[in-house]
Structures are given as structure tokens and as C-alpha cells.
Structure 1
Amino acid sequence: MAEKSDNETFNQKHRENRLLADATKELNEWTGEDEAVEIHMFRMFSEVFKPHNKDEADALFIVGTKTTTPPLTTVSSAPVKPWLFSRVLALLGISFGLLTMLFMVFHSNKAVPGMIFIGSLAVPFSLTIMFFEINVYKNISVFQAMQVFLIGGIASLVATMIFYEIIPSGNGVGLGSALAIGFIEETAKMLIIGYFINSFKVNYIFNGLLIGACVGAGFAVFETSGYTDQFGLATLFVRSWQTIGTHTIWSAIIGAAIILAKERRQPVQGKIMVRPKFLRFYVLAVLLHAVWDWQIPLPFNDPFDIQTWILIAIAWIAIFVLINAGLREVRTLQGQRIIN
């Protein structure tokens, strides 16, 4: 009986591994490589649990200038291991906890604006720092990243509002309405991402991931703040943790897709929108957004939040595949000796 149970467990794990391998192989084919991608999540985040000093953090933040951008020949193609984002998340989490204590214990309504701001900022901004860390080219500065985060986030909201005035979107509950909202918001962010890619004249997949993440994170912060002001603090507690798999990640996917589709050293042009390397990932982002908004009529969905967890997992699988494509790009460019 025990042997049968062990066999069933083994077979289940094998099916799960096979499903993951098939998914990563399909996504990796979209990047131009015909093989499955091994996802080592614990290895990637292994540095999070190790001690790091202030000098290491400072070294990460001074990159992106003329004197601190390394030549391509010295760029590392080793697996990325970000860690600083976890310290930023902890810092913001502690700040939010103190503000919550101020509100709950001392009944100070003056803490509410701070709770909304820090609560909306914590996860998206920490994800932005993560993508900043894994940009192995180190050719985008903190100032540039914050510029995209603030201006790009707000500009994408403005573009979204313009599209909403033009395109009927409904209430977001039905599938058709959710698809319209996904298309509108991801297209608005895509336009802003493309603008900053052109403005900074960047050409690498990791650059696209970072710029996309910055735009999406800015969008998420301001959107969550607005919803919290409208619907109350309960909304903040739900939306804040969910941003681990929403706008920041969807926009990072689109940013990388733009780089994949555009010709190297050429500006982003409208013709890339019909290229499969862009279109597939763009449609994926739109569908992830649409299904996230869609209230699927399943009796077991809401209690267990199955829909949310599945969508977060799919989005992160795409990110891992694109990170792998970015590292492969480094090795390819170094092999061809294409220098900045």
C-alpha cells in the first residue's frame, strides 16, 4: 500500500515537472530557443538569506553612469541572484507596520495617507529594485529608473484614460469587458515603455524587463492608491500583496518583448507590433490581465483564490524564461564581440 502511494506521488511530481517543462519550452520558443528552461527559484533568491553590507548595496546603486557602466566583455552571464530588493521590501514593510500601529493603537487618522502611500508602494517598488539588480549590463541608473517609475507610471495612466474615452470597456466583470480593459491598459503601458526604450537607446532584454517593470510599478502604485481612497483600507491589504503578479510583471514581459522584436540599435517602430516575438508576449500579458479581472463563475474560485495564484505562477514562469533569454543574449553578444 505504501509502495503504491509512493508511486502515485512520483507520477504526480513527474506530470507536474513535465507540464512545467512543456510550458517553459513553448515560451522559450517565442524567444528563439527550442528547449525547456530549468527554473531554479531557490537558487535565484539564495542571496536574500545571506548577510550583505552597506558597501555591497552602495555598489548596486551607483551603476548606470558613464564611469560605472561596464564594457560588454565584463558583463556577467552567470545566473542572476538579486537580494537588495528584499531589504527594500523589509524597510517598507516595517514602515507600513509602524503606520498601521499609529492608526490602530493611537487612532490617528493622520497615519492613513502614509499607509496608503507606503502600502501601495511596497511590493511594486521592491520588484522594480529586483529588476534593477538583475540588469546585468548596469547601463541604466537609479535616476533613470525612478524617472520611468514616476513619469512613466503617470503617463501610462493618462494614456489609459484617453483610451477609455475612445474604447468601450464595460464593467470589467464579464470576459468581453475584461479583455477590453486588459487590451487598453497593456497597450497604454506598451506605448510608454516603447517611448523610454527609444529615449534611453537601450537594446538588451534585461533593459526591456527593467523599463517595463518601472512603468508597470508606477502604474500599480497610483492605481492602488486611487482604489484605496475610493474603497477603503481593506482594498489596500488585498491589492498590495497581489501586485507581486500584476502590472509590474505584465509590463516587464511587454518591455522584454519589445526588445526581442526590434532590430538591434534601431528605434522602436510600429512594425514590431506584428512581429511574432512581440505579439505573442503582448497577447500573453493582455490575457493575463483580462483573466485577472474576469470574475470566472466557479464556486471554488473565490474561497481559495485559485485564479489569482495560477495567474501569478504563469506570469513568473514567463519572467524566468525571459531572464534566461537575457543571459543567453549576453553570451551570444560576447561570442560575437559586439561591443557597446
Structure 2
Amino acid sequence: MHLATPAENSAVGTRRWPRTFLGGLALWVATVVVVLLTGSLALVPTLILLGSFLVPVTFVAWAFERRDSGELTATLVFSTFVAGGVLGVLGASVLERYLLHPSAWLFFGVGLIEEAAKLGALMLLTRRLRTRSVHDGIILGAAVGFGFAAFESAGYSLAAMFTVDGLSVSQIVQTEVLRGLLAPFGHGLWTGILGGVLFAGWRRGSWLTPRLVLAYLGVSILHGLWDSMDGIALFLTLILTETPAFRSTPNGWLVAPTPEQIDLFSVLQWAGLAIIAVIGLAWLVTLWRRASRRAALAGR
């Protein structure tokens, strides 16, 4: 039996993952068109699942082709994606329900809980692996993170369907497009980093290392900042414009931003998300390249 090398896997991946994405995208677009034409609610679950899983599955397929060991099988990656995603969502939901309360630090608590839930799921599902490389840890961590993102997006898409004007397919589509565009820079990225650091420690004989703790805190902070960006952008907008965005009414406070405030808020929000994404990507790329250099030196 021929075991494909990472280079061969990469070459195969360049042929397969675009077909995965384009085929899934075509099915999603077709589903959107048919739902809009027929108004069939029976197709809404198909629309939600295709839109929520398209980008996460594509990135996992792309990453899988860059694995180091034959022990990292398609079955393992798929089970990690599904089971890890479900376990992460369930664990995070329970912990957030009982541990979090409204405060200025709410989203950082969400980051700590969700990253811990995904890390725990990753550790549980990969505990029997005999060969652990940093690259494989990144891939399996990303699989858990993208699984979490897919199931979470499905929930958000379903919730977006219900509006004050009734059921809205357009809200589902908008939610899925936005979350699909942002998916590569969120859960999959953060848990990929944790997976690489976890497997690096496991290879040295200990999974609970100071480096893993620091990585966990680091990705949790990135997670918290990502989720808090609306509030941060609003605060900075009010500070920079020095004009109120709220006006008093008999029934309370009404949001009434100026056009300039709206534009500045959008710029600050997207700029903040971009900065967080760049930090996360740079961290992951550095982790991957250091592991590649070490593997090359060890092979000499």
C-alpha cells in the first residue's frame, strides 16, 4: 500500500477541495432559488445545512490533504468534525447558561468557555492516537473548530429566519453569507492553534504545559475581542465623534446615529475584525512553519 506524502496530499487537495466548494456552492444557490420560487418551508433545513456547513467542510477538506501521518484518516477527521463540533456546542451551551451573567466582560467569558469546550472535545477524541505531530494537531483542532462553527451557524441561521414580519428566507441567506465569509478566521483558526500546541506538548510526554495554558488564554482573548467588536466599535465611535448616538424619548433611549457615525462605526468594526484575523493567522502560520523546520531538521 502506498502512503501518500504531504506533497502528494497537497497536490491531490488542489484538485479536490475546489470541487467540494464549487459543488456545494452550486447546490446551495440552487436551493436558495427553489425556495424563493416555491416558498417551500420543507427545503429550509436543506438551505440552512448547506449554507452552514459549506465553508467549514471545504476548509477541513483542504487541511486534511496536508496531514503528516497515515493515522490521520478521513474517518478520524470526519468524526472529529462532527462529534467535536457537537460536543463543543453542547458543553459551551451548558457552561454559558450557568456561569455567565450580563457584564462588560461577558464575551471574554464566552471565549474562555467555548475554547475550553472545544479543547476538551479535541483531547477526548484524539486521546488514543499513537502518532502526534504539530501539523496533525492543527488539522484536527481546526476540524473541531469548524464543526463547532458549522453547528453554531446553523442555529444562528434558523434564528434569523424568524422576524417581526414573519419568516424570512433573505435573512437566512444574509446570515449564512456573512458567517461563511468570516468562518475561516474564527473557531477553526483558534482551535487549530490550540491543537498544534496541544500535540506539541503531547509529543514531549505532557499535554498540560505552560505553553498550552498561554495559548488557551491567547485564543480566548482573540475570541472575546472578536465577539466584542460591535461594542468596541460603538464606544470608539462615540469617543472619536464626540457627539451622542442616542436621544431621549418618553419611553427611554432611542438609537439615532448620524450618517458619519454609521460610516465610522462600520470602518472601525471591520478594521478591528481584520486586525484580530491577521493576528490569529500569523500565529497559526508561525506555528506551522516552526513545526515544518523542526521536522526537516529531524529528518536530516
Same fold per TM (> 0.5)? yes
1:253 corresponds to: 193
Flag structure 1 segments of 5+ consecutive residues without an equivalent.
1-66, 336-340
Q: Distance in 2 between matches of 1:248 and 1:222?
A: 12
Aligned pairs for 1:289-328 (under 5 A) are 289-294=223-228, 295-296=231-232, 297-299=235-237, 300-303=264-267, 305-328=270-293
Aligned pairs for 1:68-87 (under 5 A) are 68-69=2-3, 75=5, 82-83=13-14, 84-87=16-19
> Could you tell me whether the CA contact under 8 Å between 1:189 and 1:251 is conserved in 2?
yes
Q: Distance in 2 between matches of 1:332 and 1:186?
A: 32
Q: Distance in 1 between matches of 2:156 and 2:30?
A: 22
Deviation, structure 1 residue 306:
1.7
1:30 corresponds to: none
1:97 corresponds to: 29
How has the CA–CA distance of structure 1 residues 235 and 241 changed in structure 2, closer, same or farther, with 3 Å as cutoff?
same
Count of aligned pairs: 256
- Residue identity in the other structure for 1:185: E
Q: 1:5-35 deviations in whole A, cap 9, x for unaligned? A: xxxxxxxxxxxxxxxxxxxxxxxxxxxxxxx
2:150 corresponds to: 221
Q: Distance in 1 between matches of 2:125 and 2:86?
A: 13
Deviation, structure 1 residue 187:
0.6
1:41 corresponds to: none
> Could you tell me whether the CA contact under 8 Å between 2:9 and 2:66 is conserved in 1?
no
Q: Determine whether 1:161 maps to 2:126.
A: no
Match of 1:170 among 82, 97, 102: 102
Q: 1:122-145 deviations in whole A, cap 9, x for unaligned? A: 111111112111113343111111
Higher alpha-carbon deviation: 79-88 or 178-187: 79-88
Q: Distance in 2 between matches of 1:77 and 1:97?
A: 33
> Could you tell me whether the CA contact under 8 Å between 2:6 and 2:67 is conserved in 1?
no
How has the CA–CA distance of structure 1 residues 187 and 287 changed in structure 2, closer, same or farther, with 3 Å as cutoff?
same
How has the CA–CA distance of structure 1 residues 116 and 225 changed in structure 2, closer, same or farther, with 3 Å as cutoff?
same
Q: 1:281-324 deviations in whole A, cap 9, x for unaligned? A: 22221111101110212332425622222222222222221221
Aligned pairs for 1:181-330 (under 5 A) are 181-232=110-161, 233=172, 234-264=174-204, 266=205, 269=207, 271-272=208-209, 275-276=210-211, 278-294=212-228, 295-296=231-232, 297-299=235-237, 300-303=264-267, 305-330=270-295
1:108 corresponds to: 40
2:82 corresponds to: 150
> Could you tell me whether the CA contact under 8 Å between 2:31 and 2:47 is conserved in 1?
yes
TM-score normalised by the chain length of structure 2: 0.77
Q: Distance in 1 between matches of 2:125 and 2:100?
A: 28
Flag structure 2 segments of 5+ consecutive residues without an equivalent.
162-171, 238-263
Q: Distance in 2 between matches of 1:76 and 1:120?
A: 29
How has the CA–CA distance of structure 1 residues 321 and 85 changed in structure 2, closer, same or farther, with 3 Å as cutoff?
farther
> Could you tell me whether the CA contact under 8 Å between 1:169 and 1:181 is conserved in 2?
no
Percent identical pairs in the alignment equals 20
How has the CA–CA distance of structure 1 residues 78 and 132 changed in structure 2, closer, same or farther, with 3 Å as cutoff?
closer
The CA RMSD measured in Å over matched residues stands at 2.4
> Could you tell me whether the CA contact under 8 Å between 1:219 and 1:247 is conserved in 2?
yes
1:117 corresponds to: 49
Q: Distance in 2 between matches of 1:105 and 1:332?
A: 59
Q: Distance in 1 between matches of 2:180 and 2:6?
A: 33
TM-score normalised by the chain length of structure 1: 0.69
- Residue identity in the other structure for 1:302: S
Deviation, structure 1 residue 202:
3.3
How has the CA–CA distance of structure 1 residues 152 and 118 changed in structure 2, closer, same or farther, with 3 Å as cutoff?
same
